[in-house]
Amino acid sequence: MNIELHDISRVYGESRALHSLNLSIGESVRVLALIGPSGGGKSTLLRLLGGLEVPDTGEIRIGGKNLPKDEAGLLAHRRANGYVFQSFNLFPHLDASSNVALPLIKVHGRGESEARSLAQASLERFGLGAHARKFPAELSGGQQQRVALARAIVSKPKLLLLDEPTSALDPEMTSEVLEVVAELCRDGQEIILATHEMGFARAVADQIVFLDEGSISETGPPDQLFDRPTHEVVKRFLGKVMRW
C-alpha cells in the first residue's frame, strides 16, 4: 500500500494524540493492523490517513503523493477511500439500500437505478439482500456494521479504513462482521484496521503496528510481533490481553 509518515504529530488541546510518528509501509503490505491500548492513537492515525483530520506537523505520503491539506483535496481523498467507524455509521432516516446508494448518486455521480442495483449487489454480498428496505433501527448491530461495510466498499475504494468495527458488538455479531472483513482481505482489498481482536489481526494482517501513548512502540509482521515482541510495553500488553 506504499504509505509513508514523516514526523506526524496531532495535538488536541493539552493532550498529544500522536508524537512525531515515522513509518514506512511497503507495497507488499495489503492489510495493516493497528493495535495497542485504548487512547494510544489508533483512531487518530486512521482519521489522518482517511483525510478526516489534518496533522499538526509532518507529511503523509500515500502512493508517493503527499496527502493534501486543503479542503478540496481532502474531499477528493475521502471520496477515493472507504471508512467504517466503531458504531453510528449509518444514516438513521434512510433504509439500508439508500444508505449505500445515496453516496453513489450524490458523490460518485451514478444514476439512480445503477446505484440501486450496485447497492443491492453489495448488500447481497454481505448476506443482507433481504434487509435492503429496513431502517438501521430495525437491524442488529452486526447487520448495521455489515451495511456500513457494504457502503464503504461499493464505490471500490483504494483504501478501506476500519476503526474498531467490532468494538461495540457482542461476540456473535463480532464474528459475523469479521467474517466479512476477512473475505474482503482475501479478495485483495487494501485495508488499514484498528482493532482489539488480536487473533483476527494476526490472521489477516501482513504487518502490525503497535501504538502506545501516541508513538509506535513496535512494528513488524504478525508472527514476529505476536511471538517475539521486543518492546517491554508490547510484551506486557500482549501478556495481559492474551492471558484469557
Q: Which stretches of the chain bind other proteins, using CB under 8 A?
A: 50, 52, 75, 78-79, 83, 85, 87-94, 102-103, 106-108, 135, 137-138, 151
Q: Given the complex with other proteins, which of 7 and 138 has the nearer CB atom?
A: 138
Tell me the helices (H) and strands (E) count for the chain, helix number first.
Answer: 9, 10
Q: How far is the CB of 107 from other proteins (least distance, A)?
A: 4
Task: Give the integer Cα–Cα distance in Å for 55 and 113.
Answer: 39
Task: Tell me the H-state helices in the chain.
Answer: 42-49, 71-80, 96-106, 112-125, 141-153, 171-186, 198-204, 222-227, 232-241
Q: Given the complex with other proteins, which of 102 and 182 has the nearer CB atom?
A: 102
Q: How far is the CB of 191 from other proteins (least distance, A)?
A: 15
Q: How far is the CB of 230 from other proteins (least distance, A)?
A: 35
Q: How far is the CB of 75 from other proteins (least distance, A)?
A: 7
Within 13 Å, how many C-alpha atoms sit on residue 126's CB side?
A: 33
Residue 199: exposure state from Cβ atoms within 10 A (0-12, 13-18, ≥19): exposed
Q: Given the complex with other proteins, which of 108 and 186 has the nearer CB atom?
A: 108
Q: Given the complex with other proteins, which of 41 and 229 has the nearer CB atom?
A: 41
Identify residue 72 by its one-letter amino acid code: A
Q: Given the complex with other proteins, which of 130 and 137 has the nearer CB atom?
A: 137
Within 13 Å, how many C-alpha atoms sit on residue 71's CB side?
A: 0
Q: How far is the CB of 79 from other proteins (least distance, A)?
A: 4
